Amino acid sequence: MSPAGCSHVNGYKVDNWKQNLRVIYQCFVWSGTAETRRRKVRQSDAGWTELAKSCVCHMCGAHLNRLHSCLYCVFFGCFTKKHIHEHAKNKRHNLAIDLLYGGIYCFVCQDYIYDKDMEQIAKEEQRKAWKLQGIGEKYTTWEPTKRELELLRHNPKRRKITTNCTIGLRGLINLGNTCFMNCIVQALTHTPLLRDFFLSDRHKCEMQSNSCLVCEMSQLFQEFYSGHRSPHIPFRLLHLVWTHARHLAGYEQQDAHEFLIAALDVLHRHCKGDTIRDDNGKKANNPNHCNCIIDQIFTGGLQSDVTCQVCHGVSTTIDPFWDISLDLPGSSTPFWPLSPGGDGSTVNGESHLSGSTTLTDCLRRFTRPEHLGSSAKIKCGGCHSYQESTKQLTMKKLPIVACFHLKRFEHSAKLRRKITTYVSFPLELDMTPFMASSKESRMNGQYQQTVDVINNDNKYSLFAVVNHQGTLESGHYTSFIRQHKDQWFKCDDAIITKASIKDVLDSEGYLLFYHKQFLEYE
């Protein structure tokens, strides 16, 4: 019996009490819409059928005033008018349930009680109802266990992270041209899902040696949330990255984007211990369906459709990606024209200030149908011959964190230079026009004029920006990261300062990190 329960429930827990309780919850508490209520009622015990539609107080007929239902018999009564109290006294039925929130009231204790078994039933029924209503899983806040409560009581020095708190922010010492690494580390430590994963200790290391990069990331989060104010020296991280990604090793200036991909790759490889095990206890070691945290957060699917110009047969492949590299105007690859019949001019609320390019422009170019010339004929499965074709890229599945890489460093045969064209990017980004599903509906002739308000799946908000100042050969990386909603900070190696949203949006932008606004739970 839980401490918050009472001994008086024991009298209730006899016979078929669980089923009875479930019925009460299903019919009267969590039954959701009227349809579901009616539907549910048909299935349940006949004795309750009649009364399901009449959730009113038996004494005064009101349906407000905090209606309670007696647990022992079919009786509804108001709480505020004490009708249910009278019933309890008369009939000695000491337990009643609040029909609005499902709390159990004990008349002997004169208080609401929380019995573990009963709460279990309540939770299950609530989940069932949500599923039926189409809400799906809802986020439940963490509740400490008894043991955890004890621990917490013995350690009163707790820090609560409020909006004006520095905890979670920390500088990083530059170890010698390692500003590229520092920026990526700042972006990763401020990825909310990654932070939650590591701070809740979800990594179970299976590597024998000390060289697990995921463990080092975990340690990094501990350092960031330790409350220390002096900058952290990420020398162990550097050592591990160089050990596992040899192509990055070497004291020279490197590309932050390359580092990001290499780091994600090593983390993904080292995450083996956290994959889901199937029923036999064997690990789901399918490389195509890795379920590690990196894949869950960063991996998206890019759909490539090659359409034969002769028979119009489409060959589709889906490739996984961790980032989207976008060409910029001013590079040697032609930027304009965009796709014909392009979407509205101001998607995502960006305004074309004096003709500057926007991120949406770059994305539109990325997803435009591209005519592959006669020199690149593809063998068509339908025509069984080599035909000219068009190729188009769209997003099949968007990752939770989308990283956009603006290709500012040109390494073509003709020239090597940095493209400094200003590209404006928004704080909130809607990826719906670039989805494969949108393309299909466009092709089917349905033009999406109205934005689907209910479908929030493709809305993203910016949380980190990595910038590069300087030239191709030498330069410096800094980053902006978002700590709480709308609080931005500039991270320049060891120096963290507060930044305004305007500073962020005016910056050049090299790597842009967007996070999904609405998360669905399974």
Partner 1 sequence: MCSFCEKIELTAQYDSKFVLFLPLNPHRSQSCYLAIKISNTVFQMKMEDMPLSGPDNTKLEALVHDIYSELVEDACLGLCFEVHRAVKQGYFFLDETDQESMKEFEIVDQPGVDIFGQVYNQWKNKECECPNCKRLIAASRFAPHLEKCLGMGRNSSRIANRRLASNNNNSKSESDQEDNDDLNDNDWSYGAEKKAKKRKSDKNQNSPRRSKSLKHKNGDLGKSIISEPYKYNYNTGISYESLGPDEVRSLLTTQCGVISEHTKKMCTRSQRCPQHTDEQRRAVRVFLLGPSAPSLPDADPVVESDSFDIPEGQTLMNHPQWEDSPDISPTDSASSKASTNHSDSRKLKKKKRMTLNLNSGVGAAAAAVVGGGGGIGGVGCLASGSSTSGGSSQSSISLPSKKKRPKLSAASISSTYHDLN
Nearer to partner 1, 233 or 505 (CB): 233
**Is 400 strand, coil or helix?**
coil
Find the shortest distance in angstroms from Cβ 497 to partner 1: 5
From the CB of 262, what's the least distance to partner 1, in Å? Answer: 14
In Å, how far are 180, 241, 244, 260 from 254, measured between CA atoms? 7, 13, 16, 11
> What is the DSSP code string of 121-140?
HHHHHHHHHHHHHT------
Q: How far is the CB of 45 from partner 1 (least distance, A)?
A: 28
Is-contact 373 379, C-beta < 8 A? no
- Closer to partner 1 by CB, 180 or 460: give it: 180
d(CA 92, CA 180): 73
Q: Is the peptide bond before 399 cis (omega within 30 degrees of 0)?
A: no
Looking at beta carbons only, is 107 or 404 nearer to partner 1?
A: 107
Cα 86 to Cα 92: distance, rounded to the nearest angstrom: 9
Residue recorded with tokens 């230079």: 417
- Of 64 and 284, nearer to partner 1 (C-beta) is 64
Q: How far apart are CA 181 and CA 22, in angstroms?
A: 55
- Write out the residues near partner 1 by the rule CB under 8 A: 3-4, 64, 66, 80, 100-101, 103, 109-114, 143-144, 149, 152-153, 156-160, 162, 164-167, 169, 171, 173-179, 227, 229-231, 233, 235-236, 238-239, 242-243, 246, 249-253, 470, 473-474, 476, 489, 493-498
* Single-letter code of the amino acid located at 170: R
Whichever of 179 and 398 has its CB closer to partner 1, that residue is 179
Report the C-alpha gap between 264 and 188 in whole angstroms: 10
Closest CA relative to residue 464, chosen from 434, 496, 427, 498: 427
Q: Are 234 and 182 in contact (CB under 8 A)?
A: yes
Residue with tokens 């249910």: 84
Contact call for residues 512 and 358 (beta carbons, < 8 A): no
Q: Which is nearer to partner 1, 450 or 474 (CB)?
A: 474
SS (H, E, C) 30-79: CCCCHHHHHHHHHHCCHHHHHHHCCCCCCCCCCCCCCEEEECCCCCEEEC
Least separation in angstroms between CB 481 and partner 1: 12
Catalytic center residues:
179, 476
CB of 112 closer than 8 Å to CB of 495:
no
The Cα–Cα gap between 88 and 86 comes to 5
Nearest residue (CB) to partner 1, 106 versus 290: 106
Structure-block tokens of residue 159: 């820090």
